[in-house]
Amino acid sequence: MLMRLPNNENLKTAPIPWPFDLSWFFLQRKILGRKLPLLASFKVTYSCNLACRACPFHLRSDNEKTHMSWNTAIRKLDLLHRFGTRLVVFEGGEPLLWRDGSHRFHDLVLYARKYFLRVAVTTNGTLPLDVPSHTLWVSLDGLKETQDYLRSDSFDRICSNIKNTKHPKVFIHCTLNRRNWRDAESLAKWVQEIPTLKGMTVQFFYPYNQGEEDLFLLPEERRAVIEKLLELKKRGSPILNSANRLKAFIDNHWTCHDDILINVEPDGTITKGCYVKNRGKINCDACGFTPVAEASGALDFIPGSIYAGWRLFF
């Protein structure tokens, strides 16, 4: 258990090399039967400077308790650490907008880096990409025309920030949907040509039915885009999802270890399990959450999922 110091800083334990730390994690999960969460989805705010058509979360920004305080954030990070969580991904809304008094989002990332194996951030990319995370994902759903339609005329700002970033590990994350799935090849080619990008990952639009646009892929569209992604991977495209997990999403037949995930909301609520818990109605048949599939695959020692995780986080 962590001890609290008067200045709200926790005692820092000596770092353990990541191969040993992960080996100990999987030993506890597989041999000792401890249901430790590997990955935390940590939403610090629902506030956002965009109004993306596929996102239900910015629609909640006017509700009460949609922006976490610094004290709540560090308490929840401490709790995740005690639960045994290894990876934290900060999300929003737009997490880079987060502030509380003199504390800005960068302070929160630096705090988290002291206690977790890896800290990542998912951002809309419209603000400077200087956050001190281990991994940084920029949400980009297509080239200019498509991105501007889906994500509030943001393409030019994102391009400028990507080209100017000094962050060593920046990836594009694309949510494929009915509007943009035909653009997957052109986006992958664009990513390959940008020196500051290390690759891209994809997931599939999930229908929360909470005010976002209906962009759910038809079965034949999902199959077509996955087959295209697999073809692109064979041709050396920088798509970092594993082939095994992409194939599994054609019919959504894969083993989900949802207890490997833990979710934190801006009001401080913590929920163990499926990403949609406490965020919407769960419909496994419509699942598009490839990060959970990869984490589940890694738990089952599927080589492609382990390799994908290594490339993204280590």
Q: What is the pLDDT of residues 37-65, one digit of tens each?
A: 999 999 999 999 999 999 999 888 777 77
**Per-residue pLDDT for 14 more than 70?**
no
The arithmetic mean of pLDDT across residues 157-179, rounded, is 98
CA dist., res. 59 & res. 250, Å (int): 30
The arithmetic mean of pLDDT across residues 55-80, rounded, is 91
pLDDT of residue 63: 73
pLDDT bin (cut points 50, 70, 90) of residue 196 is very high
CATH superfamily of 36-313: Aldolase class I (3.20.20.70)
Residue 292 near residue 275 (C-beta atoms within 8 A): yes
Peptide bond into 211 cis (omega under 30): no
Tell me what percent of the residues of the chain surpass a pLDDT of 90: 91
pLDDT of residue 13: 47
Exposure letters 110-139 (e unless 16+ CB within 10 A, then b)? ebbeebbbbbbbbbbbbbebebebbbbbbb
Say if residue 94 is exposed, middle or buried (CB neighbours under 10 Å; 0-12, 13-18, 19+): buried
- Domains of the chain by residue range: 36-313
pLDDT bin (cut points 50, 70, 90) of residue 8 is very low
pLDDT of residue 15: 61
pLDDT of residue 17: 86
Exposure letters 287-296 (e unless 16+ CB within 10 A, then b)? bbbbbbbbbb
Residue 200 near residue 238 (C-beta atoms within 8 A): yes
The predicted model scores a pTM of: 0.93
Report the DSSP pairing between strands 39-43 and 87-91. parallel
pLDDT of residue 299: 95
CA dist., res. 213 & res. 8, Å (int): 42
**Per-residue pLDDT for 1 more than 50?**
no
pLDDT of residue 61: 75
Q: Which long-range contacts (CB under 8 A, 24 or more apart) does 265-269 make?
A: 265/43, 266/43, 266/44, 266/45, 266/46, 266/65, 266/66, 266/67, 266/68, 266/93, 267/64, 267/65, 267/66, 267/68, 268/65, 268/68, 268/72, 268/75, 268/76
Look over the chain and give the mean of its residue pLDDT values, rounded to a whole number: 93
Amino acid at 198: K
Residue 190 near residue 89 (C-beta atoms within 8 A): no
Residue spans of beta strands (DSSP E) within the chain = 39-43, 87-91, 99-100, 103-104, 118-123, 135-139, 170-176, 197-204, 261-264, 270-272
**Per-residue pLDDT for 240 more than 90?**
yes
pLDDT of residue 119: 98
pLDDT of residue 45: 96
Q: Which residue is it, tokens 């920030």?
A: 161
Task: Take residue 276 and report the two structure tokens written for it.
Answer: 């949609």
pLDDT bin (cut points 50, 70, 90) of residue 18 is confident
The arithmetic mean of pLDDT across residues 226-240, rounded, is 98
